[in-house]
Structure 1
Amino acid sequence: MISDFQNGFAGNEPIQADGNTNLSLVKLNANDLPNVAVDSVWLLSPVHQANATEKLVVQLRNYGDEDAKNIAVKLNINAQQKAISSLNVPAGKTTIDTLSYSGLALGWQKGTISIKDFPLTFDDQLNFSFKVSAEQKVLSINGKQDGKYIKALFGADRYFKLTEMPEANINYAAFSSYSLIVLNGLANPSSGLAQELKTYIANGGAVVVFPDLDADVTIYSQFLTALNLPAITALNKVPAKVSKIELGHPLFKDVFESLPQNLNLPQVNRYLDFNESNNSNKENLLQLPANKLFFARYTIGNGQVYLSATDLENEDSNFAKHPVFVPLMYKIAFASAKEQPIYYTAMKDNVLESQKINLGANQSLKLVADQFEVIPELRQTNGKTLLYIADQVKRAGFYDLKKADSTLAVVAFNDNRTESDMHYTAQTELQKLFGKQEVVFLDPKSDSIASAVSAKNNGTELWKLCLILSLVFIAIEIVLVRFYPIQKPSLRAH
């Protein structure tokens, strides 16, 4: 094996070679090089709206042994410059920066983060893609309550498209088209609804439950436990006030510009008590005294359920009219939006994720770019479609996922950043990776590689030496015969 054994090539995991293989390592000498790379990027905005101001975070990594100063960073989206920055990156460390941008139109966006760094340039650009959607679909299933607060909430923003269904006439087949489902005061939630919601949640959906406080406790408990939520223990009619809000939770990030010392929190006159013996998947958002649940988030499979201890009726609480209600529900809706990964690594990521794609009998998908086309293998799982491309995408860039002539998605690929670290594994470290296995190290400066390889392949060849020695001995014999004739003994007569 002939290599410079760059750190990314050798790795840190033990290497187990075939016991019947003789392994010789030829370590080429290479110099450590300074290098700064665009390591990664992620979006801070959970949803993307036209002409909205959004933010992303870029991370640079310095693989060199010296500090890198004033590295210019540029953000382009659809070939238009959207933001610039300048970063200092300490030796061997990473540095992050937040960039703001706006003015996006509807549809798929092709973004690039780029820097200027020499002598290595292959990792100076990182591609990413995302979609700006025209709307987000929300479903409200209403019981005896008319759902006026949910309707007013999501009807005030044209980005949300609210659909309402009565409890008695639910279209289960439409669940998968909504990113958020709100259960608003259902009087008699059925086991069939629970089963459909379990499938919806398993596929990554989000559900908010505002119970009907006058419903049968036993029926409601069975419904909640079917969703892996806590059972109801009692209806509490003692007025209380929310005592704690989890401001550190991501849902409350950027909600409050400033916080007064005595923060006004919701008040409640009637609420449900729950059996909270198992809280492993629970995140409290708002709590009543004695750490009782008021509004909590439960992670269940790929999805999430938000459970309220009270309804949205004025006589039961002021939650629906409290200032925290609107931003909380908006944040829940935004967080429920499903988004594909914003970029992949060429020659490494062989499975692409997409929202569920339905194909006709004679239809197929194609991943295309300039002078490139591949038909991926499709598999449906958990409400999404997986596309298997093996290792056919070998170059960084943008690829269109097409169904006939329509573009379903734009997929971004980047080169593997493991090649960015221009340090090399020493011979002693390589030996440790092979453990007790017998490995021969050859020095290209002093060893004859050709002889070593020939000896490894053919064994030690002695025929040349035998031939040479034979010729030498024949020559010696000729010389002896010519210059030193043999004296024959004379015959004497007796």
Structure 2
Amino acid sequence: MYSFTMVKSNPIFALTMQFLYPYFLWALVALTIPVIIHLFYFKRFKKVYFSNVRYLKEIKEETSNRNKIKELLILLSRLLAFACLIFAFAQPFIPKGEKIKQGLPLVSIFIDNSFSMTSEKEDIPLLDYAKEKALKIVDSYGEEGKFQIITHDLLGKHQRLLSKEDAVAYIEEIRFTALVQPLSKITARQNQLFKEEEGDKSFYHISDFQKSIFDYENVKDSVGEINLLPVQTAQLQNISIDSVWMDNHVAMMQQPNNLLVKMTNHAPQTTEQVRISILIDGQEKPIRVGDFEAGSTMIDTIPVVLKSRGAHKITLKISDYPVQFDDEYHVALHVPDTIIALNIYEGAPNKYLTALFEGLPYFGLKNQPFNQIQYQEFSKYNLIIIQDVSNITSGLSSELSKYIREGGKVLLFPSVDNNPVSYNTFLNSLNAGRLELKPNSGIEVSRINTEEFIFKDVYNKIQSNITLPKANKSFQIQNSSRNAGEPILTNRDGSLFMCKYTYEDGLLYLCASSLSENVNNLVLNAEIFVPMLYKMAISGVGQKKIAFTITNKSIIEIKNTGVGGDNVYSMKGENEFIPGQKRLGNKVLLDVGDQVKKAGFYDIMNGDQVLESVAFNYDRLESDMKLLTSDEMEENLGENRLGIHIISETEQNDMTNTISAKDKGISLWKYFLLAVLLFLMVETLLIRLWRTSS
């Protein structure tokens, strides 16, 4: 690399002019030829005799001097013109950074293909603009360059280096995606591919740069410089349905199932006449029409009555334009055929318990004697009740623990004549509390925990004359330091009458007294007993997901219905595919991966049988359409910007020169060509306008 250094008065400031093709500078030697010719050129004169040559001699000397000056100026103009032409061919430049890129170009181009890029600029989607700019970037590099083309999809094929021709083909194939990644994650994937490669590495991010994904503060290191190319249009207004959930754990038939709908108006002004509607199994029903205040979020409750058992596909809709990907939210509800509880008893089954379940529609109870337990059927039941069993055997303890671990619920009423060792051994296996007989065993409940799911929303207001349970004989529940029980019913002395323990995926409900009406009048108190058993039967650690977001990490949990566990499950919706499958006990985890591309409903199939339906929705990360301006991006990046550069729209219009200036510095060859023209013009003017005598 050949260079000239130009130093100003401040010794700290220095510019170094370098040449891309320095071997052209050898042509400067040829400039000596016209100089030599000029020095050895002797003009011939014809002799003319005069009687007096004194005046002629003065004229001759003056003319000769003027001719010499003119010839020297013409020669100098030609020399400078040719010198500038030679410099232009040598491609001079002034580097911008300390390091000049001279190795193999390694270029990674991220193209934002999320739904926000459907916005149009002059009736053309922003994605098309982004692809056009990506093609210009590729075209700005030579055939020796290697390229990575990456999008929000983060597909496996994105983690490979491409030739220039293949990169162009990849760019032309890019389509919109439901997936959205933060830009720090995109940078991490670029670093992952390039960290072991040798060459000059450059990253380009072409995006509308929504505030929601602009998180370069999480980029701690980068193996290549990052160049940001904003592709933006006017800020769009948007109203989104953010999420929908149930206030209950199980959807019930012929009863109001409350759906809570969270919506946000991202616009800076009130939006009028927003229409909300609901589709239940394809039948649309209007909910309401109203105004939506600027920048506000609201949660609306929509009661849904389901008239049959099985799967129900429900879609919430709002009227909004132009951003529409988040105007619908799909949920899948499942009404079970029957909620069945198992009562394991010793002696005789409790008649009040049996009558309660017989009186609840869609509920059932199976009474099973302690000496005839069928462990293999435990997974069929929504709730297992242990009624006054004197001894919890090791076999029963083991099976109950397994049942709870896998998401089951157990309600334990200890016998007053129990073996405390067996009970406490079982409780200890669940990290629950201990049972100790109270010295003064008479207790009376004084408080109902209406914040806990069991009694939440059961009473509008607890009346002062409500009858609360009493027991003439009870146990003291000593909480474990590892797992404090959550109180459900509390005695006057502050001790627990009924509490809940969470263990892995399941629940244990523990009562401090027997279920026998001779000991405990709980079964006689319908205001407490009926809603308590009902809510326990439909409760759970986590509500079954009624909707999923389209990502690469969706895992669906279903029951394993196969004999021997060898079933292969498939999913059918907008497309049909076989998800990844992992069996854990009586459960199967279905890994959807990146196979769901479009929002909607997908049926989980076992052969031709539909087991259940699941709903998928687009990610709401981009619902807030706030775009960052270049100034806001600069402010956001701050001082710790790790070599991140923002390429302006003007620079984007000439990407070839922008990239050349970025990689090689400030190119000077154009200025030298202008100098060539200038010196040739000077030569022409000297010849035409400077008249001299011969």
- Pairing partner for 1:376 from 567, 579, 582: 579
- 1:92 and 2:295 equivalent? yes
- Paired with 1:426 and 1:353, the residues of 2 have a C-alpha distance of 43
Q: Tell me which residue corresponds to 2:596.
A: 393
* Larger CA deviation: 310-319 vs 230-239: 230-239
| 4+ runs deviating over 6 angstroms | 359-362, 463-484
- 1:67 and 2:270 equivalent? yes
Q: How many residues align?
A: 485
Q: Tell me if structure 2 keeps the 8 A contact 1:234–1:272.
A: yes
- Paired with 2:629 and 2:689, the residues of 1 have a C-alpha distance of 62
- 1:441 and 2:609 equivalent? no
- Pairing partner for 1:6 from 202, 210, 214: 210
Q: Tell me which residue corresponds to 2:537.
A: 333
- 1:453 and 2:659 equivalent? yes
- Paired with 2:451 and 2:551, the residues of 1 have a C-alpha distance of 39
- 1:251 and 2:457 equivalent? no
Q: Tell me if structure 2 keeps the 8 A contact 1:204–1:383.
A: no
SS of residue matched to 1:242: strand
1:80-122 alpha-carbon deviations (Å, 9 max, x no partner): 1345123443322211111123242222111010011122222
- Pairing partner for 1:106 from 302, 309, 329: 309
Shift of 1:14: 2.3
One-letter amino acid of the structure 2 residue matched with residue 452 of structure 1: T
- Pairing partner for 2:554 from 347, 350, 358: 350
Unpaired segments ≥5 residues, structure 1: 485-494
**Distance change in 2, residues 1:449/1:471 (3 Å):** closer
Instruction: Kindly name which structure, 1 or 2, has the bigger radius of gyration based on alpha carbons.
Output: 2
**Distance change in 2, residues 1:30/1:242 (3 Å):** same
Shift of 1:276: 2.8
Cα root mean square deviation, aligned = 3.1
One-letter amino acid of the structure 1 residue matched with residue 450 of structure 2: L
Alignment of 1:143-182 (within 5 A): 143-182=346-385
1:171-219 alpha-carbon deviations (Å, 9 max, x no partner): 2222122121111111110122222222211111111000001112233
Q: Tell me which residue corresponds to 2:571.
A: 367
- Paired with 2:505 and 2:279, the residues of 1 have a C-alpha distance of 33
SS of residue matched to 1:168: helix
Alignment of 1:25-424 (within 5 A): 25-82=228-285, 84-276=287-479, 278=481, 280-323=483-526, 324-336=528-540, 340-358=544-562, 363-370=567-574, 372-381=575-584, 383-424=586-627
Shift of 1:44: 2.4
One-letter amino acid of the structure 1 residue matched with residue 241 of structure 2: V
Q: Tell me if structure 2 keeps the 8 A contact 1:7–1:424.
A: yes
1:367-396 alpha-carbon deviations (Å, 9 max, x no partner): 1224x2211110123753221121121111
1:428-451 alpha-carbon deviations (Å, 9 max, x no partner): 553434724122222104665412
Shift of 1:339: 5.6
Shift of 1:77: 0.5
- Paired with 1:64 and 1:98, the residues of 2 have a C-alpha distance of 23
**Distance change in 2, residues 1:204/1:414 (3 Å):** same
* Larger CA deviation: 305-314 vs 62-71: 62-71
SS of residue matched to 1:290: coil
Shift of 1:222: 2.1
Q: Tell me if structure 2 keeps the 8 A contact 1:34–1:66.
A: no
- Paired with 2:290 and 2:439, the residues of 1 have a C-alpha distance of 56
One-letter amino acid of the structure 1 residue matched with residue 570 of structure 2: K
**Distance change in 2, residues 1:397/1:28 (3 Å):** same
**Distance change in 2, residues 1:269/1:12 (3 Å):** farther
**Distance change in 2, residues 1:233/1:289 (3 Å):** same
SS of residue matched to 1:150: helix
Shift of 1:329: 0.7
Q: Tell me if structure 2 keeps the 8 A contact 1:141–1:183.
A: yes
Q: Tell me if structure 2 keeps the 8 A contact 1:274–1:293.
A: yes
SS of residue matched to 1:252: coil
Q: Tell me if structure 2 keeps the 8 A contact 1:369–1:398.
A: yes
One-letter amino acid of the structure 1 residue matched with residue 662 of structure 2: K
Shift of 1:462: 5.8
Q: Whose strand fraction is larger, Structure 1's or Structure 2's?
A: 1
- Paired with 2:258 and 2:577, the residues of 1 have a C-alpha distance of 33
**Distance change in 2, residues 1:473/1:232 (3 Å):** same
SS of residue matched to 1:306: strand
Q: Tell me if structure 2 keeps the 8 A contact 1:244–1:287.
A: yes
The alignment's TM-score, normalised by the length of structure 2, stands at 0.64
Q: Tell me if structure 2 keeps the 8 A contact 1:347–1:392.
A: no
One-letter amino acid of the structure 2 residue matched with residue 139 of structure 1: L
SS of residue matched to 1:187: coil
Shift of 1:427: 3.5
1:290-325 alpha-carbon deviations (Å, 9 max, x no partner): 211111111222211110011111221211111211
Q: Tell me which residue corresponds to 2:85.
A: none
**Distance change in 2, residues 1:149/1:414 (3 Å):** same
- Paired with 2:677 and 2:633, the residues of 1 have a C-alpha distance of 46
1:343-368 alpha-carbon deviations (Å, 9 max, x no partner): 11223543223233437687422212
Q: Tell me if structure 2 keeps the 8 A contact 1:47–1:334.
A: yes
Q: Tell me if structure 2 keeps the 8 A contact 1:237–1:269.
A: no
**Distance change in 2, residues 1:361/1:167 (3 Å):** closer
**Distance change in 2, residues 1:379/1:362 (3 Å):** closer
- Paired with 2:394 and 2:565, the residues of 1 have a C-alpha distance of 35
1:233-262 alpha-carbon deviations (Å, 9 max, x no partner): 224454232121112322213323543224
SS of residue matched to 2:536: helix
Q: Tell me if structure 1 keeps the 8 A contact 2:601–2:615.
A: yes
1:260-284 alpha-carbon deviations (Å, 9 max, x no partner): 2243211110001132363854211
- Paired with 1:335 and 1:482, the residues of 2 have a C-alpha distance of 102
* Larger CA deviation: 162-171 vs 176-185: 162-171
- Paired with 1:337 and 1:26, the residues of 2 have a C-alpha distance of 47
**Distance change in 2, residues 1:253/1:2 (3 Å):** same
